[in-house]
Structure 1
Amino acid sequence: MVVLLSAFAVGRYAALCGEAAPGSSPRHGRSYSSILQFDVRADSLRAGALANVPAAIFSVGSTALYLLLSFMIPSSSGMATVSMPIMGPLAIQLGPAPEVMILIYVVAHGLILLFTPTFGVLLAGLAISKIEYTTFVKFIMPYVVGLGVALTAFLTVAMVVL
């Protein structure tokens, strides 16, 4: 995994410099450059589509998106790898503080990890304490919903203020 990420980073750096990546032909350098140009166009299209969205609505929408992504991708580093290259530049282009986007990411991921069945530590703890998962979910869900509403309100205020 690390080798693939470092190879990708070297290729992106080489494309920015206008050179071919080490161990590849100059033709690959042009393809990296084309991918980067496509990324820039896609980012500007996303920012243009969301240009008039108020910060409060963007905050709630981002929280909902991260909640969904956190349920599908239980790994925090995996979710950051998937989402931050898209959501980070989008937040910077739209004007909200990037720190708030990171807060939204952390809050949504932590909230989902309280009850998701793909989180191994949770299931191991429930197995050791001999509590069924359905019993645990019935008990914790009101707290998770209340915490989610309170944190979404906090993040919305942070998005508007910062």
Structure 2
Amino acid sequence: MSTTRIATLADLKPLAGKPLGTSSWIEVPQERISTFADATDDHQWIHVDPERARAESPFGGPIAHGYLTLALIIPMWAEVLAVDSVTMAVNYGLNKVRFTSPVPAGGRVRLNAALKKVEDLPKGGVQLTVDGKIELEGAERPAVVAEPVYRFFE
């Protein structure tokens, strides 16, 4: 794990265009996948039926929902960038997201992020655009490529 830690929002601008760091690995066990299925009412067999997924799926077993993998960006992002003066941070959205490789049950993922852009907001705070790759341990391709947008306030 590598974290970029800075004191204030003003310290963000020089980081634009630079890598921020990499989170620690997070395991995605079948129990977490099943819990996500219950929370979202997405019980497709490729996620929640390990026996059928091993027998019939092209993935060789159950896989995590793409949106579960994407949701894990939240705890991983908290490990990548810390701004001491921030009192509130908001997930503003995503400019793009692609699910480029399936995450098998039991797989491990981590976030590798760079700061693409920093913009001042009209009423204070800044908007960050991030180049993010959720890497899958042992895979050549990332599981998710995303461009999340965050708003930070002091």
Q: More strand by proportion, 1 or 2?
A: 2
Same fold (TM over 0.5): no
After TM superposition, the score normalised by the length of structure 1 is 0.25
More RCO (CA 8 Å, sep 6+): 2
Q: More helix by proportion, 1 or 2?
A: 1
